[in-house]
Structure 1
Amino acid sequence: MNSAARRRVLVLTLGGTIAMTRATAGEEGVTPRLAGADLVAAVPGLDAQAEIVVEDVRQVPGASLTFEDVAAVAERLCAAEASGVDGIVVTQGTDTLEETAFLLDLLHRGPTPVVLTGAMRPPQTPGADGPANLLAAVHTASSPAARDLGVVVVFADEIHAARHVRKVHSTSTSAFASPDTGPIGHIVEGAVRLHVTPLRPAGIAAPLSSQGQPARVEVLHAALGSDGLLLDGLEDRLDGLVVAAFGAGHVPGSWTGRLEKLAARIPVVLTSRTGSGSVLSSTYSFRGSESDLMGRGLISGGSLDPFKARLLLWAHLTAGSDRAAIAAAFAGQH
């Protein structure tokens, strides 16, 4: 471990709005162009907070990141931790930041702080938030208080656990929140102040390789008047399915037969499309209710939102987990 005065932080960059600029003054729209060195140089005094080492991993919008990209980052985290860095910051686009954070938290289980951040406003925009977010992320990554927290997201001086964080606004600089729990801490005058230490659910026992053969898992949303036609034939195209159901875990009654057949072939996980709160287990009993669906073989996603449930299911299928192990993993996330 390095001394408190000169702690070493690795910054891995993946692109995103924080790294986007126009090629020329007259060009409309921005695309990822800035390297990690440019991001670091835009934060005055950042090198006084820690010894910064920068690696450019990808230079893409958040919407274009892949499972393979995240698995490669997870491998790099393990290698960086073994080399003795005190903390790691990952910058990326905010479109998929909450998903990357959750998946990395499943794949990387070491004690070294891992902090994800990004920006809502490009660097050339008045009030660009990237430099402040990067500074707060480095403060967090270099703090001993952030050890053993798992992966966290730092945005607008708030610290959020990967398990609970959501992007809740399309344009606000305070776009990230944890609807069920609130932030676990804040950065105040450069210091990490934790309010709670979150429980960290179990990760994936079998490490994933970026060269692996990932499973195909998708999310299907329930909607008013939907007859479930999109469920037909999914057992031949998918390895797993997440249902983003109404409210506490309900779907139209016309879906139930199709879902029962699917659940006999592939894991089907039941979640709530609301993004907050948990699916129930035994409150309702009508056709298409949570108890009816679980009686037909669906797996409860508990309080995981549909997108995080998809990642947990994907990771277990890719790691070769059987149905019992998958059900146990979801039970451990409640």
Structure 2
Amino acid sequence: MTRLSRLPHVAVIGLGGTIASSTLVPDDLITYGAPGFHVDELLEYLRPELLNVAELDGEQVLASGSSALGIADLVRVSHAVNDALTTADAVVVTSGSDALEEIAYWLDLTVPADRPVIVTGSMRPFAVRDPERPAPPTRLVHGTDGPANLLAAIRVAASGVTAGQGVVVVFGDLLHAARDVVKRHSTLPDPFESPVSGPIGYVFGGSVVLHRHVLRPPGDPAKPLVDLADRVAGDEPPRVEILISYPGGGGEAVEAYVNAGVRGLVIAGMGFGSISNGLAAAAGRAAQEGLPVVCVSRTGAGSTVAKRGWEILAGDLAPTKARLLLILALLVEQSSARLADTMVRLAMPAAPGKRDAT
């Protein structure tokens, strides 16, 4: 990132979620919601701390909980981030935490990696909203993590240290690679982890400490891994669903999804790819008829192997992220053979000259 005599320009894109939510009383951590705060209001509250950190611009792209977002919304967010990167040195996206890991991974695949793109949110609402005085927040919710997370995210973005690392999640002062991070608790203020790999760094006061670099698929970091430039947010995306395998699981859901017109399935198998007999039989029939079926592990860590020959592998991706990758692969690849190659290439980054066989 270029720094001359000016502060870095950080664009902050708001999507809604808990970090933008308000309450009527400062100890309400459960029933909070609308009316929420515009991203400019959040930035105004933090502006004194950021005067010597970055030049800030806010844009409210969406205003809803992350669980309500669809693929068309994610396409819209990708366009917004790519547009912001034409003039900004870095981008911060504020989002609800429920689907934050999916939003981050979607952006990791669809925006350039040569400049920092940070995703953050909070587990507790930002501040009390006085219905009589619509103004920037002044009275914070007890124990809110929103201001600290947003401040840390902007510091990381402005530092430039994550350029080339892909999209990074900043939450609770920890930095996580978008590919690896998962939400592991429903209510605690530090719910995000990166199984096996661990965080890539942390924030300490005004400094950013980077422990390791993120392995990424080959390609020009100035270009997205998957280019959505010609994709309109309102276009109908390919439908991909997830099934979980467990002892005795049947295949009726596969048949129902096929009849409903799905374009692909992701199976979260047991262990390193075990699938119950009933589900495997139905999925195998669907695969033989041309339906892409991706197999990953339900364990939360570790890769799978192709035990039957029809499975498409996605390394150690979480099932929810494998679904997003399959949707993107279906958008850009028409050939089934090339689709499988695309999945492997993007799902399993490796050191130069090396590739995980599974």
Same fold (TM over 0.5): yes
Q: Cα 1:4–1:303, aligned 2, differ >3 Å: closer, same or farther?
A: farther
The equivalent of 2:339 in structure 1 is 326
The secondary structure found in structure 2 opposite 1:219 is: strand
Give the distance between the partners of 1:212 and 1:65, measured in 2 at CA: 15
Show the 5 A alignment for 1:232-311: 232-236=255-259, 237-264=261-288, 265-279=290-304, 281=305, 290-292=306-308, 295=309, 297-311=310-324
Unaligned segments of structure 1, at least 5 residues: 282-289
The one-letter code of the counterpart of 1:30 is Y
The secondary structure found in structure 2 opposite 1:68 is: helix
The one-letter code of the counterpart of 2:254 is L
The secondary structure found in structure 2 opposite 1:82 is: coil
Contact 1:213–1:318, Cα closer than 8 Å, also in 2: no
Of 104, 109, 112, the residue aligned with 1:106 is 109
Residues 1:217 and 2:230 are matched in the alignment? no
The equivalent of 1:50 in structure 2 is 54
User: How many residues are treated as equivalent by the alignment?
Assistant: 321
Q: Cα 1:29–1:198, aligned 2, differ >3 Å: closer, same or farther?
A: same
Q: What is the CA distance between 1:12 and its match in structure 2?
A: 0.4
Show the 5 A alignment for 1:124-203: 124=127, 125-201=141-217, 203=225
Q: What is the CA distance between 1:258 and its match in structure 2?
A: 0.9
Q: Cα 1:17–1:272, aligned 2, differ >3 Å: closer, same or farther?
A: same
Q: Which moved more, 1:235-244 or 1:129-138?
A: 235-244
Residues 1:228 and 2:251 are matched in the alignment? yes
- Deviation by residue 1:271-324 (Cα, 9 ceiling, x = unmatched): 111111111x2xxxxxxxx513xx2x1211221110110000001112344222
Contact 1:136–1:154, Cα closer than 8 Å, also in 2: yes
The one-letter code of the counterpart of 1:211 is G
Q: What is the CA distance between 1:89 and its match in structure 2?
A: 0.4
Identity among equivalent pairs (%): 37
The secondary structure found in structure 2 opposite 1:58 is: coil
The equivalent of 1:81 in structure 2 is 85
The one-letter code of the counterpart of 1:58 is L
The one-letter code of the counterpart of 1:48 is N
Q: Cα 1:130–1:24, aligned 2, differ >3 Å: closer, same or farther?
A: closer
Q: What is the CA distance between 1:110 and its match in structure 2?
A: 4.2
Q: What is the CA distance between 1:26 and its match in structure 2?
A: 11
Residues 1:95 and 2:110 are matched in the alignment? no
The one-letter code of the counterpart of 1:225 is G
**Normalised by the size of structure 2, how large is the TM-score?**
0.84
Contact 1:91–1:116, Cα closer than 8 Å, also in 2: yes
The one-letter code of the counterpart of 1:213 is E
Q: What is the CA distance between 1:7 and its match in structure 2?
A: 1.2
The equivalent of 2:132 in structure 1 is none
The equivalent of 2:31 in structure 1 is 29
The one-letter code of the counterpart of 2:240 is V
Q: What is the CA distance between 1:225 and its match in structure 2?
A: 2.7
The alignment's C-alpha RMSD in Å is: 2.0
Q: What is the CA distance between 1:180 and its match in structure 2?
A: 2.3
Give the distance between the partners of 1:131 and 1:189, measured in 2 at CA: 14
- Deviation by residue 1:200-220 (Cα, 9 ceiling, x = unmatched): 125225643323331000101
Q: Cα 1:26–1:161, aligned 2, differ >3 Å: closer, same or farther?
A: closer
Q: What is the CA distance between 1:37 and its match in structure 2?
A: 1.7
Contact 1:75–1:209, Cα closer than 8 Å, also in 2: no
The secondary structure found in structure 1 opposite 2:307 is: helix
The equivalent of 1:70 in structure 2 is 74
Q: What is the CA distance between 1:5 and its match in structure 2?
A: 5.0
Contact 1:168–1:177, Cα closer than 8 Å, also in 2: yes
Unaligned segments of structure 2, at least 5 residues: 128-140, 219-224, 349-358
Contact 1:244–1:273, Cα closer than 8 Å, also in 2: yes
- Deviation by residue 1:234-259 (Cα, 9 ceiling, x = unmatched): 22320000001111111111222211
Contact 1:31–1:61, Cα closer than 8 Å, also in 2: no
Give the distance between the partners of 2:77 and 2:97, measured in 1 at CA: 16
The secondary structure found in structure 1 opposite 2:214 is: coil
The equivalent of 2:130 in structure 1 is none
Contact 1:234–1:262, Cα closer than 8 Å, also in 2: no
Runs of 4 or more above 4 Å deviation: 23-28
The secondary structure found in structure 2 opposite 1:270 is: strand
Residues 1:204 and 2:204 are matched in the alignment? no
Contact 2:75–2:228, Cα closer than 8 Å, also in 1: no
Q: Cα 1:144–1:249, aligned 2, differ >3 Å: closer, same or farther?
A: same
Q: What is the CA distance between 1:25 and its match in structure 2?
A: 8.5
The one-letter code of the counterpart of 1:7 is P
